[in-house]
Amino acid sequence: MLCASIGTVWGARSDAPELLTGSDRAMTAPATIKPQALRSALGRFATGVTIITCVDADGQRVGLTANSFNALSLDPPLVLWSLRVGSPVFEAFEPATHFAVNVLAASQVELSRRFAAPVDDRFAEGHWSAGLGGAPVLAGCTAVFECRTHARLDGGDHRLYIGEVLRLAEQDIAPLLFHGGHYRMLGEIL
């Protein structure tokens, strides 16, 4: 339930109405924001789901499921995403000259789970090919953005990567969505 999950940060009762009032908002000072509450509220922001890939210094393929991907600039063509600094894949992405953003189709939900789980070889499933700079490109995605690393920025416990899009592809197929901690499919056009 919405109210139950954010009750600790907003001070709302579990039986409170779902719409938060102005006085509810006033109860939350910035210093009281807890990571768990922030994660929960951010989860209300529906996103697509990507698998972002690169090759490490030894040429080994590396990738993870990420929904922090977003647009940044059209001219020049820039995109961004963020990676947890403590992630096991951080050492590979930090020096990487290129990365590929594979935007998943709804039919690829199992690959999304796989690339967020501690499995030995994440690339053992799916049809992968080497893209620009060796970054693995997945067949059957709704879009692919092949990027050169343009900038790396400090982002607290995450690192923000900005990529210059060098090549892209798209297909008009149903995307995979993520909302409130659940995978979803696209609904009706409003």
Ligand X SMILES: Cc1cc2nc3c(=O)[nH]c(=O)nc-3n(C[C@H](O)[C@H](O)[C@H](O)COP(=O)(O)O)c2cc1C
Task: Give the footprint of ligand X on this chain (CB under 6 A).
Answer: 49, 64-68, 81-84, 87-88, 115-116, 118, 178
Strand partners for 84: 158
User: CB of residue 96 vs ligand X: minimum separation in angstroms?
Assistant: 14
| Bond before 95 cis per omega within 30 degrees | no
User: CB of residue 84 vs ligand X: minimum separation in angstroms?
Assistant: 4
The strands making up 158-170's β-sheet, listed across from edge to edge, are 61-66, 50-55, 98-103, 143-155, 158-170, 78-84, 70-73
Among 13, 170, 169, residue whose Cα is nearest residue 3: 13
Buried b (16+ CB within 10 A) or exposed e, 115-148: beeeeeebbeebebeebebbbbbbeebbbbbbbe
Task: Between 83 and 138, name the residue whose CB sits nearer to ligand X.
Answer: 83
Task: Between 53 and 67, name the residue whose CB sits nearer to ligand X.
Answer: 67
User: CB of residue 185 vs ligand X: minimum separation in angstroms?
Assistant: 14
CA separation for the pair 117, 111 (Å, rounded) = 10
Task: Between 66 and 144, name the residue whose CB sits nearer to ligand X.
Answer: 66
Task: Between 32 and 107, name the residue whose CB sits nearer to ligand X.
Answer: 107
* Residue 75 and residue 65 in contact, taking contact as beta carbons nearer than 8 Å: no
Task: Between 10 and 149, name the residue whose CB sits nearer to ligand X.
Answer: 149
User: CB of residue 156 vs ligand X: minimum separation in angstroms?
Assistant: 12
User: CB of residue 86 vs ligand X: minimum separation in angstroms?
Assistant: 8
Query: What are the two backbone dihedrals, phi and then psi, of residue 181, each rounded to the nearest 5 degrees?
Result: 80, 10
User: What residue number has its CB nearest to ligand X?
Assistant: 68
Task: Between 28 and 68, name the residue whose CB sits nearer to ligand X.
Answer: 68
Among 172, 173, 188, 158, residue whose Cα is nearest residue 52: 158
User: CB of residue 23 vs ligand X: minimum separation in angstroms?
Assistant: 33
